[in-house]
């Protein structure tokens, strides 16, 4: 897999113009959803002739539209717009746009160049980087797709000013995860910050440090045979919380689920690998103070464990797999926890969350 270039900037348009000059595509296409079409695209169009002259492809908002119908709409629009192997696709949006646009780019004529411009903190720190592209299919998330990195990812905080504090916190949880799997220095810098009151330049700096953690891991293991599983920290329990919330018909933001999942999985890390208790308490306090609590009772445990068992990260249906830490930055992948240990960890999670 080729390695992708990351550009951290608050001047997106000059970087787009420079890219288009460098690659000289036969034609430029911009993929947006209905939101970025209204809120972000006009700014780029006003400042860049190349974007103003591009063909715009629009999809509907939301994960529910990350499906085969939207993908076929993108493919057809590329055909009808006269796209060739030398055309370029710019994906301008959150995780849905970069995931589906990435797969469209990876599969059109067996692959054309695509560029991601994430417009949310969550997609900047996660979906837009690392080459996991795809769509949901037959009720399963990301069931169809490809490992294919964007040629370039242009990361800017300038579009985040319109994000709600919930959206900012959602992205910040993935940054905390990157801190935990890198080193104490990066991690401490994140915990010292109040994400609700952070200026765009400081955020860009923290974001750059955080994305580089992911980039290094992805380069080492692009198709998740090993160390890339470090990025799953917090996600086995987090996905279970997300699924339970969906079942309750009151969905929670992905990043919040990851934040609470981090607490559960660091409790497990403490139980199995002696992750330091003072660090555990510090994280749990930060999460509770900033994210509040996701409410679970003992009655929810069987459902949560069932969700964890069906996580596609498990190699076998009999074992529940976690990424754990012995220390901040000391990663142990493919750790198995028993149901009893998971129940104990959920008990301790509830203590931390004052439930």
Contact residues: its own copies, CB under 8 A: 68, 72, 75-76, 79-80, 84-86, 103, 106-111, 132-134, 137-138, 140, 142-147, 223, 312, 315
Least distance to its own copies, CB of residue 277, Å:
35
Is residue 207 within 8 A of residue 175, CB to CB? The reply is yes
Least distance to its own copies, CB of residue 316, Å:
8
Block residue for tokens 């080729």: 2
Least distance to its own copies, CB of residue 211, Å:
21
Least distance to its own copies, CB of residue 10, Å:
33
Q: Which ranges of 150-234 does DSSP label H, i.e. alpha helix?
A: 165-180, 184-191, 200-220
Least distance to its own copies, CB of residue 190, Å:
29
Nearer to its own copies, 16 or 148 (CB): 148
Nearer to its own copies, 225 or 354 (CB): 225
* φ/ψ of residue 6, rounded to 5: -115, 130
Ordered DSSP codes for 303-354: HHHHHHHT-TT-SSTT--EEEEEEETTEEEEEEE--HHHHHHHHHHHHHHTT
Q: Burial, 60: exposed, middle or buried (Cβ in 10 Å; 0-12, 13-18, 19+)?
A: middle
- Distance of alpha carbon 131 from alpha carbon 135, whole angstroms: 13
Q: Burial, 311: exposed, middle or buried (Cβ in 10 Å; 0-12, 13-18, 19+)?
A: middle
Nearer to its own copies, 45 or 144 (CB): 144
Nearer to its own copies, 106 or 308 (CB): 106
Least distance to its own copies, CB of residue 334, Å:
14
Nearer to its own copies, 103 or 187 (CB): 103
Is residue 90 classed as helix, strand or coil in its secondary structure? strand
Nearer to its own copies, 116 or 170 (CB): 116
Question: Tokens in use for 265?
Answer: 């999985």
């Amino acid at each position: 897999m080729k390695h992708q270039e990351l550009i951290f900037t608050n001047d997106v348009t000059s970087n787009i113009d420079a890219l288009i000059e460098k690659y000289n595509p036969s034609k430029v296409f911009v993929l947006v959803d209905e939101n970025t079409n209204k809120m972000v695209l006009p700014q780029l169009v006003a400042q860049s002739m190349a974007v103003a002259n591009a063909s715009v492809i629009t999809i509907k908002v939301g994960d529910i539209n990350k499906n085969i119908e939207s993908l076929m709409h993108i493919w057809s629009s590329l055909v009808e717009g006269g796209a060739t192997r030398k055309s370029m696709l710019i994906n301008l949006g959150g995780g849905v746009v970069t995931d589906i646009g990435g797969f469209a780019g990876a599969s059109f004529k067996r692959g054309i160049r695509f560029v991601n411009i994430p417009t949310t903190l969550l997609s900047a720190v996660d979906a837009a980087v690392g080459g996991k592209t795809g769509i949901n299919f037959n009720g399963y998330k990301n069931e169809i797709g490809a490992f294919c990195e964007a040629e370039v990812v242009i990361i800017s905080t300038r579009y985040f000013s319109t994000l709600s504090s919930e959206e900012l916190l959602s992205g910040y949880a993935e940054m905390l995860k990157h801190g935990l799997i890198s080193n104490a220095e990066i991690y401490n810098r994140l915990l010292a910050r109040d994400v609700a009151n952070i200026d765009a330049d400081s955020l860009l700096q923290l974001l750059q440090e955080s994305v580089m953690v992911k980039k290094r891991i992805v380069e080492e293991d692009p198709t998740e045979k090993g160390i890339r599983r470090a990025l799953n920290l917090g996600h086995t329990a987090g996905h279970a919380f997300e699924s339970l919330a969906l079942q309750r018909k009151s969905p929670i933001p992905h990043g919040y689920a990851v934040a609470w999942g981090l607490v559960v999985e660091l409790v497990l890390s403490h139980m199995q690998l002696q992750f330091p208790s003072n660090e555990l308490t510090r994280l749990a306090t930060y999460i509770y103070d900033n994210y509040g609590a996701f409410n679970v009772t003992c009655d929810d445990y069987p459902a949560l464990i069932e969700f964890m068992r069906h996580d596609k990260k498990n190699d076998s249906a009999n074992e529940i797999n976690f990424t754990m830490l012995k220390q901040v930055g000391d990663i142990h992948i493919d750790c198995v926890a028993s149901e009893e240990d998971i129940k104990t960890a959920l008990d301790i999670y509830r203590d931390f969350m004052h439930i």
